[in-house]
Each structure stands twice: as structure tokens, then as C-alpha cells.
Structure 1
Amino acid sequence: MKSTSGILKSALTLLILVALGAGIFIWSGVYNIGADDPHMRATHMLLETLRERSIESRASKLTVPDLSDPAKALQGAGNYNAMCVGCHLAPGMVESELSKGLYPAPPNLSKYPVELAQAFWVIKHGIKASGMPAWGKSMEDAYIWNMAAFLQKLPTLDANQYQAMVASSGGHSHGGGESGRDLEHEVATNSEAAHDDYEGVHSHESGEGDEHNDSDSGHHHDNAAMQAEDSVANAKNAEAHGHDDSSKDQAMTTHTHADGTVESHPVKPEVETDDGHDHKH
């Protein structure tokens, strides 16, 4: 029989080889991490067991509050519709782009209930690498418990009953439900104000809606701008050629450049030369 030390050495060697092999496998990039390529069966079973046992062990330590008041589930209905329905669906709802694209696929919670404490724990803490966010970072526990209460009723509802609960819920105006602020109304109001601001700037720039502008105001502004540009161009040309305003009283000559530009210059006065003779007679 092998000695105890020999067994320990063999086990340690095996662990080192396994760790080395796992490191090479991970570093090689051979594993396809794409969400459209399912895990290997063994990997899937391992992760499923890991997730279920992790949630169960933590949810079992929670104390479930009294959720018998129908108003609690009703409030949770609005928040579920605002925050969860895109992935976890609703009665009569077909698969969404999110529910189709996520892997592992989010469960259709309109088909079966989730145990209260587990529902609360998952909503609050989320699940790593699954697309399930930790809503506890933005929601108080009371509102999360209300959503958990609603999840108990959800599988018993048809499409009309579901819509009726959402429509009468106080939670659907704000994703978190904490403050009672109607963020949907605020967003719509801010968007409308921004649109009005844009329209005001646009109409001012284009001359639309200005009672002081006639129907030709757009052309008037364009012509004025063109005239201003011409004035600047002429001033630059005059400066480049050393001309001043006194040239307008002089005789002018015109010539055309190779690029088609027409330019005018004052005629230079003839300079008399002294040839040694007296021309005054």
C-alpha cells in the first residue's frame, strides 16, 4: 500500500495538472462564449445546480412579510410591467427580442409561480452572467416584496386580467415605485418642451412664424447675406491690389482672369518724360 504522503503527492500532482489544463483551455479561447451557442451539457448542469443551490440557501434565511393585502400585488403589477415584462413576458404575450436573445433564456413567469422568498432574493440581488439585474440597487425592499406577491398571481391571469391590473396599478408610472413621481409624464413633458424649443429656433432661423416677416423674408435674408459676402470679397480684392475708395473717381479698365473672374482697375495716368525739348510753344 502506498504511504499517506505518497497519496497526497499524487493528489497534489493531479490537481496541478487539472489546474494547468484548465488554464490552457481558458487562455486558448477555444470555448465559444457566444449566447447563441449553448453550454455543453455538463457545463449547463453544473451552472444550473450552482444557481439553484445558491438562491435556495440564501432565500431560506429570509422572513416573508405579510403580503395578503391585494393592494400590494396590485402595486407590484405595474412595476412588473415596467421592468420585467420584456424578458419574462405576460399572459398572451409572444416571445420578445430580449427573451429570444438571452442565454440562459429567462423563464416565462406567466406560466408558473416562483416561491416568494426566492422571487424576492433574485429580484433584489440579480444573477451573475444571466441578464438578470439587481433591482435592489434602485428599489426598496417593500416594493420588491410587492412584485414577488404579484408573481404568485401572474400565472392565474389571462391577458385581459393582466392588463386590467397593470392599468389600475400605482406602480406603473415609475419603475421603482418609491417616490410616486410620474416619470413617464415628466419625460413626455420634457420631450415636448425640447421639441418646442427646437421648433422655435428652427422657425427663427428660417423666418417661419415671425409676424414681422413677409412671404419673401427667406429670399430677403439670402440676398442680404450674398450682398454682405460680395462686399467682403470686394474689400479683400481692393486691399490685395492696394486700392482705396478714391479709385471710384478714376477712369477704370476691365479684364478677365483665366478662371473667369472679372476685375476692374483704375487707368494709370500717363507720365510725361523729359526729352530735353521745350514743348510749351
Structure 2
Amino acid sequence: MKHVLRTLAALAVFGAVAGAAVVGFGLYNVSGRQDHFPGVGWLLHTTFKQSVRLRAPDAAEVPQDIGNADRIRLGALHYQSACAFCHSVPGQPRSATARAMNPPPPHITEATADWEPQQMFWIVEQGVKMSGMPHWPADGRGDEIWSVVAYLNAVPDMTAQEQTQLTGGKSGAARCSACHGEGGKSVNSYVPRLDILTPDQITQALVQYRDGTRPSGIMQEAAAGLTDGQITRIAQNFGTAQADELQRQEVVAPDHAGARLALRGTAEVPACTACHGPARQADAPIAPVLAGQSRAYLESQLKLWRDGHRGGGARANLMTKAAQDLSDADIAALADWYAEQGTTPQGQ
């Protein structure tokens, strides 16, 4: 028995010395032109697949609106700018540079073939070590990740023509319009209208996205390369100077459950209309107009405020405190009512 133990100890010492030599003297060839030793690639890929399946969320967490066309389009537009360089899109080959990577990123139609939505969510959220696959750049933004997953889930049945219809080939200000609509009048229920926000509010948001103080994997990507001058021009193109007037418009459907909460608040939740309108009476600083924003967008933002994931400067603490006692039912009621108000600036 002692002989066996001495042999095992000697092998362990030899392995440690050999490993130190490989690391210390650079004996292992890390060239991307060289394949792994036989069996190593299979071992790593199998480990990857089993790791994802072990850690992915339960299938019950997949949103019921995973097939929503607006969600798919939003995910497609982000994928086009942030992911297509490596994985390409339906109907197009990967670039020569992507194919030269080791391991090469799979084409999107191959990458989505064997995964369930909850597993793709985990991959997009967490990334994959030693593969070039990054994690989602903003913590707590599962709402955004599910939009990307909605697109990925639709890819296996997607044609090249359908891909083009989703994303087109827009850039610059036109690229902003791809998500936010012409003139900021978004018709995508997961994207905010900009035409009812002030230029200052849009400027502040874009600067915060660019600096990372307001977390968003989608908007941080979009704003990262913007100069101050470009941000100013975008804000002037999409914003309105009529926010104060919009917030003082008359209230519609005051008997709505969301209206009662918005107008009166509770012992724990202040009245939303005091700052956001409509029927705003106070001379408080003008907060973003909520009337006319979509239900899905408002609901996602209120949950981010409540759960402490929203960020965005000094106002973040105030809004997090205001929303912290809202239940899911409260949020749904508020989102329903504000979305029904249908605010439109004059002349539009």
C-alpha cells in the first residue's frame, strides 16, 4: 500500500512540475491556427452543453409573449448590430474573419438549432468562457435578453427575406428610427416613444447609456460611440418642447384602477401624476411623460425601478423608493391606464 501511495505522490509531483513547465516556458502552442489535442475539443464542447443545461432557468420562466412580433423585431435589430459579425444572419454566410476564429462561432441557424428558449437566455446572459461569446453587458436586464431570445427562437424558420424585412440596412439617425419609429413615434410596444420626451430628457438618457450609469445591453451598445454633438442632434430631432403642456392635459377614465393609484397614490406609493401628469398641478420639475407610452414598456420600466435595476442618476433613488411597494398587479394597472391616455403633441 505504501508503494502505491509513493507512486501516486510521485506522479502528482511530476504532473505539477510538467504543468508548471508548460505554463512557465510557454510550451503549449496557443496559436489559433492549431487545433486542440485529440479529444480536447469534444471535452470542452460537451462540458459547455451540460453546463448550460444544468444552469438554465426553468421552462416556466419563458415569457408568454416570446413569439410577439415587436419583441422579435427589437431582438433582431440588436442582434444585427451586436452579434451578426460573428454568427451572421439567416441567408448569409459568416465572414472570413469569423470562420477563422478557433473555435469558430457557429452560424446562427446552427447555433439555435438544439437549444430551448430558456437555455438560449442563459447563454446570452452569461456568455461562454474561452469562446469569444461575451455575457450581457447590463445586469438585471432580463427583459432585454428575452427580446434577443425571441429573435433567436424565430431564426430556425426564418428566410433571408424575412430577416431583411426585420432589420433593413439602417444606420445613424435612421437606425434610431428603426426601433423608435419615424420622428420618435414608436409603434413597437417594447420601445419608448421619444416624441413625447423633451430634448434634455433624451440627452440625459443617451449620456447615461453611453457612460454605463443607466444599464441597458441594447442602448449601451447603441450609444457607446456617440459624440456629444451627435447626442444633441438626436435629442433635437426626436424630442418635443411641449412636455409641460402634455402633462397638464385632462385625465381620461378616472375610475380606472390604475387611474386611482396614479392620481391618489397610497400611504406607501406617491401619486404618479404629481410629477408625470396627466393633470399635473404641481410646479415640480418636469418628469418624463408617461401617457401614451406602451403598456409593455411602462410595465418593464416600473419593474426595473421597483427591483433596483433601473439606474440613471440622482432621480434613480427617488423612483426606486416610489416604486418599491408596487405589486405586479399595481404595475399592470398603472401601465394599462397610462398607455390608454394617448398623448400627442400639437402639430403631429
Q: What is the TM-score normalised by the length of structure 2?
A: 0.47
Matched, 1:190 2:199: no
Tell me which of 26, 31, 36 is aligned to 2:33. Answer: 36
1:154 corresponds in structure 2 to 155
CA distance in 2, matches of 1:164, 1:97: 25
Q: Which runs of 5+ in 1 are unaligned?
A: 194-281
Counterparts of 1:14-93 in structure 2, within 5 Å, are: 14-59=11-56, 63-66=61-64, 67-93=66-92
Percent identity among equivalent residues?
24
Quote the offset at 1:162 in angstroms.
0.3
CA distance in 2, matches of 1:188, 1:19: 54
Q: Secondary structure at the match of 1:170?
A: helix
CA distance in 2, matches of 1:48, 1:162: 29
Contact 1:79 1:171 in 2 (8 A): no
1:137–1:163 CA distance, 2 compared to 1 (3 A):
same
CA distance in 1, matches of 2:42, 2:223: 42
1:146–1:192 CA distance, 2 compared to 1 (3 A):
closer
Q: Which runs of 4+ in 1 moved over 4 A?
A: 171-175, 181-189
Quote the offset at 1:65 in angstroms.
2.8
Quote the offset at 1:134 in angstroms.
1.0
Q: Deviations over 1:125-155 (max 9, x none)?
A: 1111211111143671111111112111112
CA distance in 2, matches of 1:171, 1:93: 26
1:131–1:184 CA distance, 2 compared to 1 (3 A):
closer
Tell me which of 177, 202, 205 is aligned to 2:218. Answer: 177
Q: CA RMSD in A?
A: 3.5
CA distance in 2, matches of 1:21, 1:51: 27
Q: Which runs of 5+ in 2 are unaligned?
A: 169-176, 182-190, 192-208, 210-215, 234-348
Q: Secondary structure at the match of 1:131?
A: coil
Give the partner amino acid of 1:105: P
CA distance in 2, matches of 1:77, 1:171: 14
CA distance in 1, matches of 2:122, 2:51: 11
2:6 corresponds in structure 1 to 9
Q: What is the TM-score normalised by the length of structure 1?
A: 0.57
Larger deviation, residues 122-131 vs 94-103: 94-103
2:302 corresponds in structure 1 to none
Contact 1:78 1:171 in 2 (8 A): no
